[in-house]
């Protein structure tokens, strides 16, 4: 049998019939498919209505994960008796009266379809009482579109909506419901988001007559911290930053988990736009970019953020369930969110108000269960072993790190090569490489007495003063809180990396000629690859020329890499450029992808240019490293997301030795 014959035999076409208007109950059931997917969808719609009514106390009662019973009771304004039947009809709402209000929605729910859709696929009862009514009134329906009431009922001020036997009359939908436990987990996650987004409202959640959540309304900072602790855990409260940023009419506030408090999943990421729970890929990507360079690979940040924008700049009518939003100035909002979070996470220690023991830097934060995998020996940092340094050599290689701006954007660039070819840098050696951040020479830094900072604890710098070096790897320092432990390679790597990024953004990666050029033997394919990226190497501070089909000569390198293994670095960079050539994202119009590639190259250069393990440092050199750390953005983590230092407070040290017990 031919394919055409088989199709003709098995294909079923709907009979040709006259056009007719759908019965109202069937139309409601079809509409319910857009709004009601599972019990959690019902909870979302009912909670949004309760919040829009001005309720400050809401109770949610469930049986069998919402498959059997869902009831939401609030103490809001209520619905008048003569408006009850109108409230459950399609396209009826009190939240939008005009096109102007539609383009500037100020409520959570607004479509006027939720109650009608839910009632078409369940046994539905709506009871409500306003302050002007002597008793409550209720209406009910049984999934057939026939309404009973209004009739008097017992009830307090506010509204109660009860949904029994969801999808009882639509077996095709009911068979896709999961087990009660699975449905309840979905509801609990949704309720947690809504509880976080409205701290001014008290919530109760009961499942099978058992109290699951009982959170009173937050009235002060202490009660707000308690709600966060209850929902997200004490560790999040202890290891997060409270932020607040405002630009024109945009406002961002909330809590950012420190990079050391990271997660294996995105299960602790909560973003609310105008009080609405949203899932926006672009905003999520902005936050991911903000945490770039400070998170260990494969780990995810934790945050609770509230973004407020003018309602007329926000389109919430994108998705029937209102999960997605669209901004009038999406790119600007994206940049505002990314910059605000990035600046908060990258704040240098010298700019911090104070360093509190246990506020995210304590050793127990780094050794918490969720962070142990981030420090697993399965993926150690690669350290090269070098010789001893002369006094002041490290100090001369460290320079003050100014706050970083954004990379220039180019809508014309089609790939990485086009962007980097547009960058040029000045010739010659910069004098600032030879001095420290405050303008002193390396010799002055090395000879600077400790008492320049004063002996009082109040005037001691955040990371204190170096005491010793442990096994050529760690620097031990004393500050006002206790003991500071620094991974010198990881910390110096971040310092050098941020300096490279600063020079790159100013189009001036300082180069230094080599006294003796270095000849490098390579494969012909590597020389060919270098020819394709030659201008990029020049922009990165290298001067290289071909002296044969399988040989290159290096005559100048970035000034911060004079003491590095230049040959090994060149081979590593060629390997990365080979991978970039195969990366399809470069061919796309993605400035962020381009910047990520450049950052990856600069990170490799910084790793080669940082101080190595087993390299003995003098006390002045160690102190200069501490001072540069205090002025460097994102210093809490190295380029690979591993911690660079930890704080052990005197209280923690006392506990270790059982002092005072």
3-state secondary structure of 268: coil
pLDDT tens-digit readout, 34-76: 668 889 989 998 999 999 899 999 999 999 999 999 999 999 9
Which residue do the tokens 């949904």 mark? 163
If pLDDT is split at 50, 70 and 90, which confidence band does 353 have?
Answer: very low
Contact 380, 374 (CB under 8 A): no
Is 511's pLDDT higher than 60?
yes
pLDDT reported for residue 59 = 96
CATH class of the domain defined by 233-346 = alpha beta
d(CA 303, CA 375): 21
Question: Secondary structure of 347-415 in the HEC alphabet?
Answer: CCHHHCCCCCCCCCCEHHHHCCHHHHHHHCCCCCCCCCECCCCCCCHHHHHCCCCCCCCCCCCCCCCCC
The phi, psi pair for 166, rounded to 5°, reads -60, 135
Contact 263, 606 (CB under 8 A): no
More confident site: 323 or 608: 608
Q: What tokens were used for 135?
A: 């008793």
| Sheet with 276-277, side-by-side order of all strands | 240-247, 250-257, 303-308, 269-273, 276-277
Q: What tokens were used for 656?
A: 């270790």
Where are any strands of DSSP class E within 309-347?
A: 314-315, 326-327
In the chain, where the domains are located: 24-215, 233-346, 363-374+415-651
Top mean-pLDDT range of 317-321, 362-366, 584-588, 641-645: 641-645
Beta bridge partners of 136: 153
If pLDDT is split at 50, 70 and 90, which confidence band does 141 have?
Answer: very high
pLDDT reported for residue 377 = 31
d(CA 229, CA 240): 11
Top mean-pLDDT range of 17-21, 57-61, 469-473: 57-61
Domain 24-215 fold: Heat Shock Protein 90 (3.30.565)
3-state secondary structure of 134: coil
3-state secondary structure of 477: strand
- String of b and e for 586-621 (b: at least 16 CB within 10 Å)? beeeeebbbbebbbebbbbbbbbbbbbbebebbbbb
| Sheet with 465-470, side-by-side order of all strands | 465-470, 474-479, 482-487, 645-649
Percentage of the residues of the chain whose pLDDT score is greater than 70: 74
Q: Are strands 250-257 and 465-470 parallel, antiparallel or unpaired?
A: unpaired
The enclosing H or E element of 499 equals helix 488-505
Residues 6+ apart with CB under 8 A from 91: 112, 113
pLDDT reported for residue 350 = 55
d(CA 402, CA 336): 20
pLDDT tens-digit readout, 149-196: 899 999 899 999 999 999 888 887 888 888 999 999 999 999 999 999
pTM metric for this prediction: 0.66
* Domain 363-374+415-651 sits in CATH 3.30.1370.100: yes
Average pLDDT over residues 468-479: 91
Taken as a whole, the chain contains a residue count of: 661
pLDDT reported for residue 283 = 86
Where are any strands of DSSP class E within 444-596?
A: 465-470, 474-479, 482-487, 511-521, 543-548, 551-558
More confident site: 195 or 511: 195
- CB atoms inside a 10 Å sphere around CB 317: 15
**Mean pLDDT computed over every residue of the chain:** 76
What does each C-alpha distance from 49 to 87, 111, 389, 661 come to in angstroms? 11, 11, 69, 55
pLDDT tens-digit readout, 361-405: 333 433 343 333 333 333 322 223 233 333 333 333 333 222 223
pLDDT reported for residue 374 = 34
Which residue do the tokens 């046994």 mark? 123
Contact 185, 39 (CB under 8 A): no
């Amino acid at each position: 049998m031919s394919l055409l014959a088989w199709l003709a035999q098995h294909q079923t076409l709907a009979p040709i019939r006259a056009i007719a208007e759908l019965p109202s109950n069937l139309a409601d059931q079809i509409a319910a498919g857009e709004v009601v997917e599972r019990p959690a969808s019902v909870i979302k719609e009912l909670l949004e209505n309760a919040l829009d009514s001005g309720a400050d106390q809401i109770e949610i009662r469930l049986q069998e994960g919402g498959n059997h019973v869902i009831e939401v009771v609030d103490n809001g304004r209520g619905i008048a008796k003569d408006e009850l039947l109108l409230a459950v009809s399609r396209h009826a709402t009190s939240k939008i009266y005009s096109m102007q209000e539609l383009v500037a929605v100020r409520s959570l729910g607004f479509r006027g379809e939720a109650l009608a859709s839910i009632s078409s696929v369940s046994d539905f009862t709506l009871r409500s009482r306003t302050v002007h009514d002597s008793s409550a009134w209720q209406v009910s329906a049984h999934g057939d579109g026939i309404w009973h009431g209004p009739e008097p009922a017992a009830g307090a001020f506010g509204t109660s909506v009860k949904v029994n036997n969801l999808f009882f009359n639509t077996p095709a939908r009911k068979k896709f419901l999961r087990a009660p436990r699975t449905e309840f987990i979905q509801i609990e996650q949704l309720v947690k988001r809504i509880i976080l987004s409205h701290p001014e409202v008290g919530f109760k959640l009961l499942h099978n007559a058992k109290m699951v959540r009982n959170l009173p309304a937050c009235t002060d900072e202490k009660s707000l911290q308690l709600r966060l602790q209850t929902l997200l855990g004490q560790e999040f409260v202890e290891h997060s930053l409270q932020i607040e940023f405002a630009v024109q009419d945009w406002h961002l506030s909330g809590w950012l988990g420190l990079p050391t408090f990271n997660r294996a999943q995105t299960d602790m990421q909560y973003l609310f736009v105008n009080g609405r729970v949203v899932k926006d890929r672009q905003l999520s990507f902005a936050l991911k970019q903000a945490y770039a360079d400070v998170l260990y690979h494969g780990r995810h940040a934790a945050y609770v953020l509230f973004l407020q924008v003018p309602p007329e700049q926000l389109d919430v009518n994108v998705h029937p369930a209102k999960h997605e939003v669209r901004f009038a100035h999406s790119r600007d909002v994206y940049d505002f969110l990314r910059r605000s979070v990035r600046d908060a996470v990258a704040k240098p220690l010298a700019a911090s108000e104070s360093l509190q023991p246990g506020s995210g830097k304590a050793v127990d934060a780094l050794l918490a269960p969720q962070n142990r995998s981030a420090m697993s020996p399965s993926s150690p940092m690669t350290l090269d072993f070098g010789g001893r340094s002369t006094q002041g050599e490290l100090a001369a290689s460290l320079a003050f790190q100014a706050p970083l701006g954004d990379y220039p954007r180019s809508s014309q660039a089609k790939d990485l090569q086009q962007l980097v070819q547009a960058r040029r840098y000045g010739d010659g050696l910069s004098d600032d490489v030879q001095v420290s951040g405050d303008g002193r020479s390396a010799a002055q830094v090395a000879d600077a007495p400790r008492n320049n900072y004063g002996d009082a604890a109040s005037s001691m710098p955040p990371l204190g003063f170096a005491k010793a070096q442990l096994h050529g790897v760690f620097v031990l320092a004393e500050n006002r809180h206790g003991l500071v432990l620094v991974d010198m390679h990881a910390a110096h790597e971040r310092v050098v990396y941020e300096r490279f990024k600063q020079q790159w953004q100013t189009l001036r990666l300082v180069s230094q000629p080599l006294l003796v050029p270095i000849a490098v033997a390579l494969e012909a394919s590597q020389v060919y690859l270098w020819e394709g990226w030659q201008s990029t190497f020049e922009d990165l501070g290298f001067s290289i020329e071909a002296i044969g089909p399988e040989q290159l000569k290096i005559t100048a390198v970035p000034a911060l890499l004079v003491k590095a293994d230049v040959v090994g670095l060149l081979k590593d960079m060629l390997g990365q450029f080979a991978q970039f050539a195969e990366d399809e994202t470069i061919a796309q119009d993605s400035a962020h992808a381009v910047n990520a590639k450049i950052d990856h190259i600069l990170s490799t250069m910084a790793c080669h240019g940082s101080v190595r393990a087993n390299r003995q440092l003098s006390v002045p050199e160690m102190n200069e490293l501490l001072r540069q750390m205090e002025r460097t953005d994102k210093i809490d983590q190295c380029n690979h997301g591993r911690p660079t230092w930890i704080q052990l407070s005197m209280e923690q040290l006392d506990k270790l030795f059982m002092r005072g017990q």
